[in-house]
Amino acid sequence: MTAAGAGQVWAHVGQAFSETEYDVIVIGAGRMGAACALYLRQLLPASKLLLVEQGGLPNEDGATILAAGVWTAQDIPEGSGLTPEAAPFWKAQADWTRAQLAAQDGIQFQKRPLLSLYTTEGPGRIPTAEALAAHPDSLAVLDADQLPFAEPDLTAATYRPGALAAAQAGAAVRAGADLMLNTQAHLIPGGVRLDRLTVTNTHQIVTHESHTIRARFVVVAAGAEGPELLEQGLGIHTTHARAYRQTPRLNTPSDGGSGSGRAADLSPVLRVPVRNGGGLTLRPQNGGYTLYPRIHHRDPHGYAPTGGRLTGVPVGLRRETLEDLVGLMDALPVLGTEALETGRSLADVPGAWLALPGGRTDAPPLYQRPLPDVWLLLGGPLADTVGLAAAFDLAAACAGRSGRPWQKD
């Protein structure tokens, strides 16, 4: 049963599909595509919109479900960025994104301080021991003599990006968008080909049926796969790239506190510097920490991640990540213990492909219009802090709206 005004949902191939035309098709229901679909419904309520996702909601393999979900003022992009229209507005866009997140139900949005730790003094830094005095569990993770200074961001917050994608896709459907799951989209001139996928009884994923759909606009929000879709379907080359990021787990207590759930009691997000630049983020989650290693560089075309070795023993962490963690063992002695789950093979450690807009590891989210009827939306490494604004911006540009909610007149 669908609520009045709600869109249709096709979750499996048993449900007949006979549409041939949409105004807008959004490929990918990660947090970028889901948000864009919702904003498009709000800004273009008369349009017929289809959101297509090759997996479920959220996709277990996408970048969204494995994103840190850490909003922090320390990640607000500097400089001009890559979306020309948006360049001067990053701070305002980050604040707008935060307000959207805070208003969203069901994503466990929590105000939670973030502490960036340093070896030297600097502006805005306070002694680490003082910053973590109320958080003995957090203090126990590190050697405060090695990282004696901390820069707090008391405006930081954490949330669940996978839940955000699911909530926004659900809201888009209630607002009239159609949604098709387990369906792989391919770009073709003037529209898309949809391959509806099913699983055989020998567990192979096969195409059950294909449909060719015309669309006035296609928004490619397929994460790391977006640039490839453009290239394969339409022969459009871009400078974008991707990287494989793993998120190992550290099983050491977090959120011990008084258990009151008050912001002051929540273990802070910790960020520690890595030699030669970048940082490792420790995000309190499920009573321990999820580690978000820095991204070193774009992965070359055709790169397939493999595990590394620690004292001769195979582990499931890729070599650069392993080297960073080994280099941090003095500052974070807990990394040298069994609390760090390295697994034996790559499959043991959660990981996902992340889009790198412009091939840069520090690039803000961006959208582009490579053809008059095709838009590309990329979240990338900073999507936690400014992603929703980029999704909104694309929707507004598509709708021909000039003013942005974060722009001051």
Cβ(221)–Cβ(32) under 8 Å? yes
Whole-angstrom CA distances from 337 to 4, 255, 308, 334 are 56, 20, 17, 5
Minimal distance in Å, beta carbon 264 to ligand ADP?
31
Q: Which residue in the shown chain puts its C-beta closest to ligand ADP?
A: 30
Minimal distance in Å, beta carbon 52 to ligand ADP?
5
Minimal distance in Å, beta carbon 331 to ligand ADP?
30
Looking at the DSSP bridge assignments, the partners of residue 114 are 153, 269
Cβ(158)–Cβ(70) under 8 Å? yes
DSSP string of 231-285? HHHH----S-EEEEEE--EE-S--S-S-S---GGGSPPEEEEE-TTS-EEEEEEE
Which residue's CB is nearer to ligand ADP, number 195 or number 373?
Answer: 195
Q: Which helix (H) or strand (E) holds 192?
A: strand 191-199
Which residue's CB is nearer to ligand ADP, number 30 or number 351?
Answer: 30
Which residue's CB is nearer to ligand ADP, number 28 or number 268?
Answer: 28
Minimal distance in Å, beta carbon 391 to ligand ADP?
9
User: Letter for the amino acid at 228?
Assistant: E
Measured CA to CA, the distance from residue 407 to residue 214 in angstroms comes to 35
Minimal distance in Å, beta carbon 316 to ligand ADP?
21
Measured CA to CA, the distance from residue 179 to residue 8 in angstroms comes to 6
Which residue's CB is nearer to ligand ADP, number 118 or number 244?
Answer: 244
Residue 278 falls in which region: left (phi positive, over 0), alpha (psi -120 to 50) or beta: left
User: Letter for the amino acid at 399?
Assistant: A
Minimal distance in Å, beta carbon 381 to ligand ADP?
10
Tokens of 258: 């008084």
Minimal distance in Å, beta carbon 123 to ligand ADP?
33
Residue with tokens 């059950």: 208
Cβ(180)–Cβ(199) under 8 Å? no
Which residue's CB is nearer to ligand ADP, number 180 or number 332?
Answer: 180
CB atoms within 10 A of CB 214: 14
Where along the sequence are the contacts to ligand ADP (CB under 6 A)?
Answer: 27-33, 52-55, 59, 62-64, 184-185, 221-225, 229, 355, 379, 383
Which residue's CB is nearer to ligand ADP, number 149 or number 292?
Answer: 292
Cβ(86)–Cβ(101) under 8 Å? no
Which residue's CB is nearer to ligand ADP, number 290 or number 342?
Answer: 290
Measured CA to CA, the distance from residue 316 to residue 370 in angstroms comes to 38
Which residue's CB is nearer to ligand ADP, number 30 or number 268?
Answer: 30
